[in-house]
Structure 1
Amino acid sequence: MKLRIIILVTVVIGLFSSVLYAQEAQSDYEIQQTFKEQYADYEQQVENVSSPDSAEKLIESIKQFEKKYSEHKKLLDKALYPDTYEEQMESLKKSSVRTVNKVETIAEQQKQLKKLETQLASYEQDLNQLDQQTDSLKTAIRKSTESEKELSKMVREYRQSLERRDELILTFIDSMLVTYQNMNLDALQEIDDYNQKSRIKTNDALKLIHDISEENIQILERNASKLQLDDYMRMAEVNHQFQIMWNRLGDKIHEVYEGNNADMLLKNINGHITKWNNLLQVNTIDAMKNYFAQQDIKTDAFESAGELNKVLHSYLDRKIKDSKDNPSEANYSELQKFKEFWNRVEVQWTSNLAHANVLSREQISKLNQKVDEWTQIAQPRSNNILVYLLGGSVLLAVALGVMLIREKKNNGSA
């Protein structure tokens, strides 16, 4: 009887231990499975997070998740082999940090693009107003029956309007450089997956750049007779800054632009810049001819930038020879006229002439050497004679003074 009781108790204890072991084993399995399921869920959340706020909340949740399962580290190491619990958590935390950085960058790009959209709307409105003013002035000039004085006033106002337009374009270029230079193209490509799409839908930068380049060509084509060398030198600076901006940012602006005609606009802008350069050079050469005629600087005829350089060298060589052979007031007067022009080249226009592909810096430097040589030998002969006469008069006065003093001394001795 006792033996039976002992056997029964042993069986019961064995069965109870088996149940406890099974329950413990089941509990460990559930911990491992739950961890894996929640981990996979966090990985998915990391991929789909859409804002800085939600990313920060996700990081905090991952911290709590790590804290909860850290006590089961050894158990999870077995389930995750060959990886470990710490390696898995480190990977998840790094992914979440990268995601935070990504969505913050996207948010910053969104902010910049929104700001740019407002700026573009303002630039477009201001440019339209200026274009309307210049168009009205251009029409008035064409139809004018006013006196020459009134017509001259309208032309001056027209040129001033173009100057304000160029200043606005330079401001626009600065804004483009500031806005786009720090943009991250990878982040921009993520924008479409953001909560609210942030591509510019109106007043697009690419379209506005296209329109500016197209309008500048029209100005150069239609208004050559109304503009002067000063205008083209200013336009050369605008053209140069525009190209710098486009070369640096064209691809980025094209990337941001939302529209089916993006490739066409890109191609057109590149074509406009080439045509703009050619027209600027041709118009500047014509304006230079007009300037020389107005200032009575009598060079040989020229029709191109290459011819202008040769003509200026020829003109200076001739004037240097004339100054050596026969210095005169007329030659000296011509020097003064030319130096008035050349001083502006040196002080204001060196870069602009280079930007307009009219005279390079090296060419200007070589011409400058000849201007200096002409200046050194252009003293008119009549002036030299006056100097000699004046010097002779001084010497004569001194001699007479000495003679008078001696005569007084002699009379006193007598």
Structure 2
Amino acid sequence: MNIKKRSPRIRLLLLSFFTLLSGLSVHAQTSDFQLLENFNNDFHRISTEIDQVIDMGALREIELEISSFESRYSDHRTLITAALYPVTFEERVNSLRDRIMVKNQSLSVVDQLNSRIEGLIAETDLFRSRINQLNSEISTLQQNIERSSASESRQAALIRQYRQNLESRDLFVADFLEELINRYQNMDSAERSELSVAADRLQDNPVEILKSIISDYIELSNNRSGLSLPDYVSMRAQHGYFSDVWSRIGEQLTRTFETERSRQARTEIDNMLAAWLASVDNNVWSLLQQEFYDRSIRLSPFTNSSELNRSLHEYIDAAYEISLESNREEDYGKYRNFSDFWNTTVKANWGDLIIAGNILTHSDIAAVDVKLSSWGEAAAPISNLMFILLIVSIAVIVGLVVLLVTRKS
């Protein structure tokens, strides 16, 4: 009887017990689910932070956050590993650290690139400032030369200073070109790509600076104030060096700093170099012809190196033939005039520039020297004394012959 009376109570207790166990199980499952969800959310949040970080300081903070992340979930590694299978808790944490290492290398490259760009910006600013200063000084000297025509001594001093400034600018530009060669000639695709990204940050990139330099030289060549033949020959040599540098690094520079219009940029500079040479040559050949003319040396017209070389040989060959036929004092004077100008001015004063400027080669000059020597031998007049002695000798011989014939008779 007692058992029957207690049966409903026991069933109620058992039901309550199982309900409690069920609730505890559901609560445990809910807690595990929340833990895994929090773990995944934290993992993805840290991954996003790694992707978006842009400086080394923030990256260091993320490294500390990864350590905290690992510590926070390490007591639940078994549960997390089971949920992530086949990936383990340790592998997931280490993947974050691996990404930190990759990002660290990437940011280091960016820092180095920024340093290079800042240095390049400083260098281009310095170059632009210096070239502007030199151009300003040259322009001022040009104006002063034009105003000082009344005073020959002052004008001569200004012209000397003007040429010194031109030489200073040429040396400065040559140093700049040499720096470009050293920096960009052997640049690999990775370096070129890095600099291309930063090209927009440069107010004056190297390609634009080269255009500016060539433009200045063209303007200088077209403005003949204070310039003489050696100045233009020197400018022609500078053009040759400039063209050589451009042929070696032009493609690298335009592909780096003019990425979207590299071919057009190369064509623009090629055309500017051609215009510069045309302007220089227009002055070189006319002034050189005038130099010979002023010394009464009438060469046939020439507009390039081969024509100049041909004119020199034609002039000497014609004079040589005349000297062989007549051997007059006038012919020898013509030889002396040409020889003096050729040796004391063309070779002694202009020789290095003429070769550097591709006006004549060493072989061309040597060939003229050989013909000039033959001309000198043919043009040298026979001495009057020698002529008299020759006549006397002939007379003596004739007299002796007559005497011998008379005695035999």
For Structure 1 versus Structure 2, the TM-score category normalised by the shorter chain is 0.5 to 0.7
Per mean C-alpha deviation after superposition, the further-off stretch among 114-123 and 35-44 is: 114-123
Asked if 1:367 corresponds to 2:368, the answer is no
Instruction: State the 1:279 CA deviation.
Output: 1.9
Partner of 1:199: 201
Instruction: State the 1:220 CA deviation.
Output: 0.8
Contact 2:320 2:379 in 1 (8 A): no
Partner of 1:156: 160
Asked if 1:311 corresponds to 2:315, the answer is no
Partner of 1:133: 137
Asked if 1:48 corresponds to 2:32, the answer is no
Q: What CA distance in whole angstroms lies between the structure 1 residues aligned with 2:76 and 2:324?
A: 102
Q: Aligned to 1:111, which of 115, 118, 132? A: 115
Partner of 1:230: 230
Asked if 1:101 corresponds to 2:105, the answer is yes
Contact 2:229 2:287 in 1 (8 A): yes
Instruction: State the 1:37 CA deviation.
Output: 1.9
Instruction: State the 1:275 CA deviation.
Output: 1.6
After superposition, residues 15-34 of structure 1 pair within 5 angstroms as 18=22, 21-34=25-38
- Per-residue CA deviation, residues 96-139 of structure 1 (Å, 9 max, x unaligned), is 33433333333333333333444444433333333333222222
Asked if 1:124 corresponds to 2:124, the answer is no
- Per-residue CA deviation, residues 311-370 of structure 1 (Å, 9 max, x unaligned), is 3555677789999999x89868856754564578875654442xxxx56xxxx3653663
Q: What CA distance in whole angstroms lies between the structure 1 residues aligned with 2:10 and 2:48?
A: 57
Instruction: State the 1:221 CA deviation.
Output: 0.7
Instruction: State the 1:82 CA deviation.
Output: 6.6
Q: What CA distance in whole angstroms lies between the structure 2 residues aligned with 1:375 and 1:320?
A: 9
Asked if 1:217 corresponds to 2:221, the answer is no
Contact 1:55 1:96 in 2 (8 A): yes
Amino acid paired to 2:279 = L
Instruction: State the 1:67 CA deviation.
Output: 6.6
Per mean C-alpha deviation after superposition, the further-off stretch among 134-143 and 310-319 is: 310-319
Identity of matched residues, %: 21
Q: What CA distance in whole angstroms lies between the structure 1 residues aligned with 2:372 and 2:24?
A: 112
Instruction: State the 1:239 CA deviation.
Output: 3.5
Instruction: State the 1:200 CA deviation.
Output: 3.7
Instruction: State the 1:49 CA deviation.
Output: 1.5
Q: Aligned to 1:169, which of 144, 159, 173? A: 173
SS at match of 2:54: coil
Q: What CA distance in whole angstroms lies between the structure 1 residues aligned with 2:85 and 2:318?
A: 92
Asked if 1:39 corresponds to 2:43, the answer is yes
Amino acid paired to 2:201 = R
TM-aligned CA distance change 1:205 to 1:297, over 3 Å: same
Q: What CA distance in whole angstroms lies between the structure 1 residues aligned with 2:208 and 2:378?
A: 64
Q: What CA distance in whole angstroms lies between the structure 1 residues aligned with 2:56 and 2:37?
A: 30
- Per-residue CA deviation, residues 188-240 of structure 1 (Å, 9 max, x unaligned), is 56669xxxxx9245x666655443332221101112x6323432344345435
Q: What CA distance in whole angstroms lies between the structure 2 residues aligned with 1:295 and 1:87?
A: 92
Amino acid paired to 2:284 = T
Amino acid paired to 2:62 = L
Partner of 1:283: 283
Question: Where in structure 1 are there 5+ consecutive unaligned residues?
Answer: 193-197, 386-414
Name the larger-Rg structure.
2
Per mean C-alpha deviation after superposition, the further-off stretch among 63-72 and 145-154 is: 63-72
Partner of 1:393: none
Contact 1:73 1:85 in 2 (8 A): yes
Amino acid paired to 1:370 = A
Q: What CA distance in whole angstroms lies between the structure 2 residues aligned with 1:372 and 1:220?
A: 31
Q: What CA distance in whole angstroms lies between the structure 1 residues aligned with 2:308 and 2:21?
A: 108
After superposition, residues 215-364 of structure 1 pair within 5 angstroms as 215-223=216-224, 226-240=226-240, 242-243=242-243, 244=245, 247=250, 248-254=252-258, 269=269, 271-290=271-290, 292=292, 299-312=299-312, 314=314, 338=342, 341-342=346-347, 350-353=355-358, 364=361
Contact 1:323 1:377 in 2 (8 A): no
| Alignment TM-score, normalising by the size of structure 2 | 0.65
TM-aligned CA distance change 1:368 to 1:222, over 3 Å: closer
Partner of 2:406: none
Amino acid paired to 1:29 = F
Amino acid paired to 1:218 = E
TM-aligned CA distance change 1:285 to 1:333, over 3 Å: closer
Instruction: State the 1:41 CA deviation.
Output: 1.8
SS at match of 2:170: helix
Partner of 1:391: none
- Per-residue CA deviation, residues 141-160 of structure 1 (Å, 9 max, x unaligned), is 22334243433332222222
Q: What CA distance in whole angstroms lies between the structure 2 residues aligned with 1:128 and 1:298?
A: 42
Q: What CA distance in whole angstroms lies between the structure 2 residues aligned with 1:95 and 1:324?
A: 92
Contact 2:195 2:257 in 1 (8 A): no
Q: What CA distance in whole angstroms lies between the structure 1 residues aligned with 2:222 and 2:281?
A: 12
Per mean C-alpha deviation after superposition, the further-off stretch among 55-64 and 178-187 is: 178-187
Amino acid paired to 1:162 = L
TM-aligned CA distance change 1:189 to 1:121, over 3 Å: closer
Q: What CA distance in whole angstroms lies between the structure 1 residues aligned with 2:64 and 2:321?
A: 86
- Cα RMSD for the two superposed structures: 5.1
- Per-residue CA deviation, residues 63-82 of structure 1 (Å, 9 max, x unaligned), is 55457667766655554567
Contact 1:210 1:265 in 2 (8 A): no
SS at match of 2:302: coil
Per mean C-alpha deviation after superposition, the further-off stretch among 123-132 and 15-24 is: 15-24
TM-aligned CA distance change 1:381 to 1:90, over 3 Å: farther
